[in-house]
Amino acid sequence: MKYKHEICPMQILLLSATANEIELFTRNGSPVDLLIAGVGVPATLYHLQKRMQQIDYDLVIQAGIAGTFNTNIALGETVWVQQDCFGDLGTEEKGRFAPLFESGLADKNEFPFTDGWLTNSGKITNQVTLRGVRAVTVNTITDSPLQQQQLVEHFQPDIESMEGAALHYVCLQEKVPFIQLRAISNYVGERDKSKWKMQEAITNLHNELLKLLNQQIRR
């Protein structure tokens, strides 16, 4: 049996891969439900679907850090994801990668996909003033020039994460409003973490989450 909690007028779930990414809420308490699902698509799919079987949510917010392909996006900036996809799901032949839909293994317009993308066009997006971006979700953080080249060639993404498309997939299937917020910690391919802005990204992410949550709770 599904149930509702009494903490917040709206049933809101704040989802993250790690506790560190939403430490303000895990440390100081939260007016909404929290779910630390773990890193990667499988963990997100399983734990999010399991929680949604228990509670009817009005909104799911996914928050985390991400790397960017787009040098016009500043390190530390928080963005929201308009479109996401499973960036390394497909086939590889003779050293060349072909995404799922280009491989002919699935219809790019079969629900919940639209032209191969998991697109968030819900009403919640009209309330967000952050930069909207296109994302790819990958199982392996991009390191090699070849991997980066292939992702850019096929998807022209702004950012990458390891969980975002799982959120889009589940919420679109279940018809639950959702929003994915990502703070940019690094440029894709840069593995020297001394050049990352992890703490600045997390601080900015927390600030934007507080704005969004306050906006929703006061409605």
17-31 confidence digits (pLDDT tens):
999 999 999 888 788
User: Tokens 């850090």 label which residue?
Assistant: 65
Q: What is the token pair recorded at 12?
A: 């809101």
| Structural domain total, the chain | 1
Task: For residue 160, list its beta bridge partners.
Answer: 67, 136
Residue 6 domain-assigned (yes or no): no
| Structural domain harbouring 68 | 12-217
The pLDDT value given to residue 219: 64
Whole-number Å distance between alpha carbons of 198 and 191:
13
Q: Is residue 40 part of a domain?
A: yes
- Domain-located, residue 2: no
Q: Which residue has the higher pLDDT, 5 or 26?
A: 26
d(CA 37, CA 29): 18
Write down the pTM of the prediction. Answer: 0.93
Indicate the residue type of 153. Answer: E
CATH number for the domain that contains residue 54: 3.40.50.1580
151 occurs within a structural domain? yes
Identify whether 88 is part of a domain: yes
